[in-house]
Amino acid sequence: MAQLDELKRSCLGCNRCGLCETRTQVVFGVGPETTPVMFIGEGPGEQEDLRGEPFVGPAGRLLDEMLSIIDLGRHNCYIANIVKCRPPHNRDPLQTEQDACIGWLRQQVKLIRPRIIICLGRIAAMKLIREDYRITRDHGQWEEKGGIQFTAIYHPSALLRDVSKRPETFSDLLSIREKVRELCPEIYQ
């Protein structure tokens, strides 16, 4: 069995934090076994919990549109979350839940070997880029860590709530497209 499938199989039985008691399904992530581009959200919502797939609700439909702006699709990038189980009532995942879960994501990153990671929203940015990340101030900036280029953009749910953030996100997406063209030319071939 491929290593990522094996990892998924262990993750599906995870009980490292209390979210395992309220989840319907673990939402491990979707995408190719290796790919140069990963998108990381914060945690599954109601639809994702029911279907076992990330970003399949309203925010997911907007994410698909955002991917198409940068000529990407679910077939050529990997999508996952900081926590794999739905926090009740869609509250922010607690720091303890994030810490319990992050090992799964770290193993996914090791196997998938992305060159670019795009954090969707502040929770992912604060966990993966910097604890003091401020999404309103820092979105769209690039930072290299361990050979991977990181950036963050507003979470699609934030863009659904506040359309005034969309123009800034559009320019962030163009910068992501440029970075993908530069670092991952094969993805557009």
Nearest to 158 by CA among 80, 44, 27, 41: 41
> What is the C-alpha separation between 77 and 99, in angstroms, rounded?
25
Nearer to ligand URA, 92 or 183 (CB): 92
Q: What would the DSSP string read from start to end of 174-185?
A: HHHHHHHHHH-G
> Minimum Å distance from CB 41 to ligand URA?
3
What is the gyration radius of the CA atoms in the chain, in angstroms?
A: 15
Identity of the residue, 27 or 187, whose beta carbon is nearer to ligand URA in the bound complex = 27
Nearest distance from residue 60's CB to ligand URA, in Å?
6
Contact present, 119 and 40 (Cβ < 8 Å): yes
102/183 with CB nearer ligand URA: 102
Residue 31 or 43 having the CB closest to ligand URA: 43
Q: List interacting residues with ligand URA (CB under 6 A).
A: 41-45, 48, 54-55, 59, 81
Q: How far is the CB of 45 from ligand URA (least distance, A)?
A: 4
Residue 163: Cβ within 10 Å count: 8
What are the C-alpha distances in Å from 155 to residues 40, 48, 68, 125? 10, 16, 16, 10
Minimum CB–partner distance for residue 147 and ligand URA (Å): 25
